[in-house]
């Protein structure tokens, strides 16, 4: 057992992982303070901007360290859907009733086997206030409903079903209402959200340092977080935080080593949802001062096979030629189930009527005149797909889906050849993903150690934390920006008034 040789091999390999040291710097070792503010925020994405606005409004001086050359983070890159409910002005104007109790039921169910009930409850309780806050920042929401199944409306319409609210089995347990709210912008609204919030941050007088990459937290002799050591275009800098540091530095989908060790299923993802800063730096800094983590094994994956929504009238089958999900489920839920199938194999079977041009990058695996030929073309077991289609058709004719309860409007017998199979398989389809685990925090943003003590002076929000969404099978679009901004605001206010 040549221990010595293994040790040296390993140590060398470990140096290449890019998982940087996160041990805090002791304040006694800080050569000088280049900046001083009540609150120092690491990262100017959705969470950081919301935290900064609240902290400024609570009277605190705020310094924001953004590693990119401009703020925005992953929120700016996103579609910009925000999860609100319980009777928002948009829901009401569009004729939807939404009881907060039903929204809470949904959130608890969607969060998986281990929801943060307090965070869910607060989020629901304050949802209308949070919606009004967005409007007060200058973000407009059209009083309109977008009825189609999509990942993100291309119009400037606002309200949509952005998750599994109206699909089985969620609709059985909680009364459905659409809760995705997109600002009034044609197409993606993430950039407008961030331009608006950053504009507000500037108006309120926060100091924004761009190209400023946080290196480590600074702690005093009691272990209280009192600042951040960062580099500004490579030059070492030291910022003192008189009241607290808020980590809003994103998740870790860009850090392959961390993904491999905590969420190995995300190694199947071929589009990392995030920005290059999502390398786990914030989580690692938190760990360095004793923070605990939560749900680090959870990750969102998606197989975004729609729009167009007519594709939802197709059926998805696995390598056994069997269906395994209601095709009208949210694309994230579908992605989670695709990963669970043997060999990660899944095909969307379409007839000529429900066929539509799929999004760029999707591949047609086979196209044939009959289902029998398609079965052979896909090398599915003899009689498997033909049975699945004939069974599906028999009930679809009556508007029923006894297996998976797909909604009636998508139930159309597949009888008009030719037929095609879109490849939704792992390694073939577009499979975007992001991490869901992170630092353990109180609803107030206070970071907790593994043994549930507060790390004094440290706060966190957004994807750096384990927030509202924490189950791939239950995620809805809008939970990320909704949770990041809501709990970012709370963190900003808590830190400012410490």
Choose, by CB under 8 A, the member of 265, 310, 376, 456 that binds its own copies: 265
Least gap, CB of 210 to its own copies (angstroms):
27
Choose, by CB under 8 A, the member of 93, 128, 271, 287 that binds its own copies: 287
100 contributes a contact to its own copies by CB under 8 A: no
384 contributes a contact to its own copies by CB under 8 A: yes
Choose, by CB under 8 A, the member of 38, 165, 279, 440 that binds its own copies: 440
CA distances in angstroms from 381 to 171, 420, 421, 426, listed in the order given? 34, 17, 15, 20
Handedness of CA 106, 108, 113, 116 (dihedral sign): positive
6 contributes a contact to its own copies by CB under 8 A: yes
Choose, by CB under 8 A, the member of 9, 92, 270, 370 that binds its own copies: 9
Which tokens is 215 given?
A: 């290196």
Q: Which stretch binds its own copies (CB under 8 A): 100-108, 244-252, 306-314, 446-454?
A: 446-454
Sheet holding 180-181, edge to edge: 82-83, 180-181, 159-160
Residue 182 or 213: the one with the smaller Cβ distance to its own copies is 213
294 contributes a contact to its own copies by CB under 8 A: yes
Q: Which stretch binds its own copies (CB under 8 A): 226-234, 370-378, 417-425, 487-495?
A: 487-495
Q: Which stretch binds its own copies (CB under 8 A): 84-92, 101-109, 363-371, 488-496?
A: 488-496
199 contributes a contact to its own copies by CB under 8 A: no
- Euclidean distance between CA atoms 285 and 253, whole angstroms: 16
Residue 6 or 202: the one with the smaller Cβ distance to its own copies is 6
Residue 7 or 186: the one with the smaller Cβ distance to its own copies is 7
407 contributes a contact to its own copies by CB under 8 A: no
Choose, by CB under 8 A, the member of 101, 233, 267, 359 that binds its own copies: 267
Bridge-based pairing of strands 159-160 and 454-460 is: unpaired
- Euclidean distance between CA atoms 50 and 486, whole angstroms: 8
415 contributes a contact to its own copies by CB under 8 A: no
Least gap, CB of 290 to its own copies (angstroms):
8
Least gap, CB of 410 to its own copies (angstroms):
18
Least gap, CB of 32 to its own copies (angstroms):
26
Residue 140 or 372: the one with the smaller Cβ distance to its own copies is 372
| Residue at token pair 């998976």 | 404
Bridge-based pairing of strands 35-42 and 235-247 is: parallel
Q: How many CB atoms lie within 10 A of CB 466?
A: 25
Please state the φ and ψ torsions of residue 4, each to the nearest 5 degrees.
-55, -45
- Euclidean distance between CA atoms 305 and 347, whole angstroms: 10
CA distances in angstroms from 319 to 11, 271, 322, listed in the order given? 42, 24, 7
Least gap, CB of 429 to its own copies (angstroms):
17
268 contributes a contact to its own copies by CB under 8 A: yes
461 neighbors 491 (Cβ within 8 angstroms) = yes
Going by C-beta distance under 8 Å and a sequence separation of 6 or more, which residues neighbour residue 194?
45, 46, 49, 71, 72, 73, 75, 76
10 contributes a contact to its own copies by CB under 8 A: yes
Residue 32 or 452: the one with the smaller Cβ distance to its own copies is 452
Q: Which stretch binds its own copies (CB under 8 A): 178-186, 282-290, 355-363, 414-422?
A: 282-290
Choose, by CB under 8 A, the member of 197, 284, 346, 424 that binds its own copies: 284
Range 301-320, binding its own copies (CB under 8 A): 320
Alpha helices in 58-189 (DSSP H): 73-77, 89-93, 100-110, 117-125, 127-137, 170-173
Residue 47 or 159: the one with the smaller Cβ distance to its own copies is 47
Binders of its own copies: how many residues, by CB under 8 A? Answer: 75
Range 342-381, binding its own copies (CB under 8 A): 342-343, 381
14 contributes a contact to its own copies by CB under 8 A: yes
- Euclidean distance between CA atoms 164 and 151, whole angstroms: 12
State the binding string over 109-148 for its own copies (x if CB under 8 A, else -): ---xxx---x---x---x----------------------
Q: What is the 3-state secondary structure (H, E, C) of 96-117?
A: CCCCHHHHHHHHHHHCCCCCCH
| Residue at token pair 């909704």 | 482
Q: How many CB atoms lie within 10 A of CB 384?
A: 17
Range 211-250, binding its own copies (CB under 8 A): none
Name the strand (E) or helix (H) holding 300: strand 299-301
């Amino acid at each position: 057992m040549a221990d010595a040789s293994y040790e040296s091999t390993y140590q060398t390999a470990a140096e290449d992982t890019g998982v940087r040291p996160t041990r805090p710097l002791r304040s006694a070792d800080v050569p000088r303070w280049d900046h001083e503010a009540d609150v120092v925020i690491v990262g100017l994405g959705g969470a950081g901007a919301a935290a900064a606005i609240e902290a400024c409004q609570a009277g605190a001086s705020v310094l924001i360290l953004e590693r990119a050359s401009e703020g925005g983070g992953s929120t700016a890159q996103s579609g910009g859907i925000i999860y609100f409910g319980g009777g928002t002005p948009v829901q009401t104007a569009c004729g939807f009733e939404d009881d907060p109790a039903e929204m809470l039921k949904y959130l608890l169910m969607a969060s998986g086997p281990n929801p943060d009930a307090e965070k869910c409850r607060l989020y629901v309780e304050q949802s209308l206030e949070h919606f009004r806050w967005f409007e007060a920042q200058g973000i407009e929401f059209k009083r309109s409903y977008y009825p189609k199944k999509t990942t993100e409306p291309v119009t400037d319409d606002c309200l949509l079903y952005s998750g599994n609210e109206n699909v089985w089995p969620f609709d059985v347990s909680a009364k459905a209402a659409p809760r995705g709210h997109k600002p009034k912008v044609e197409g993606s609204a993430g950039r407008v959200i961030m331009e608006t919030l950053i504009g507000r941050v500037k108006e309120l007088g926060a100091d924004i340092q761009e190209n400023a990459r946080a290196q480590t937290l600074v702690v005093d002799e009691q272990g209280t977080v009192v600042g951040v050591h960062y580099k500004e275009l490579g030059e070492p800098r030291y910022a003192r935080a008189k009241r607290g540091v808020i980590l809003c530095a994103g998740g870790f989908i860009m850090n392959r080593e961390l993904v491999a060790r905590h969420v190995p299923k995300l190694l199947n993802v071929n589009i990392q949802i995030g920005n290059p800063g999502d390398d786990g730096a914030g989580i690692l800094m938190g760990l360095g001062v004793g923070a605990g983590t939560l749900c680090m094994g959870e990750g969102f994956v998606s197989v975004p096979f729609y729009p167009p929504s007519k594709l939802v009238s197709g059926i998805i089958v696995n390598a056994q030629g069997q269906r395994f999900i209601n095709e009208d489920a949210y694309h994230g839920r579908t992605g989670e189930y695709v990963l669970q199938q043997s060999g990660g194999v899944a095909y969307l079977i379409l007839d000529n009527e429900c066929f539509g041009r799929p999004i760029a990058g999707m591949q047609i695996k086979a196209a044939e005149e009959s289902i029998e030929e398609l079965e052979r073309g896909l090398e599915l077991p003899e009689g498997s797909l033909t049975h699945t289609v004939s069974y599906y058709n028999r009930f679809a004719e009556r508007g029923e889906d006894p297996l998976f309860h797909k909604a009636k409007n998508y139930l159309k017998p597949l009888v008009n050849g030719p037929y095609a199979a879109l490849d939704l398989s792992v390694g073939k389809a577009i499979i975007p993903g992001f991490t869901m685990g992170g630092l353990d925090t109180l609803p107030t943003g206070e970071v907790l150690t593994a043994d549930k003590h507060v790390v004094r002076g440290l706060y966190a929000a957004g994807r750096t934390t384990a927030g509202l969404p924490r189950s791939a099978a239950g995620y809805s679009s809008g939970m990320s920006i909704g949770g990041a901004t809501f709990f970012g605001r709370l963190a900003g206010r808590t830190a400012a008034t410490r």
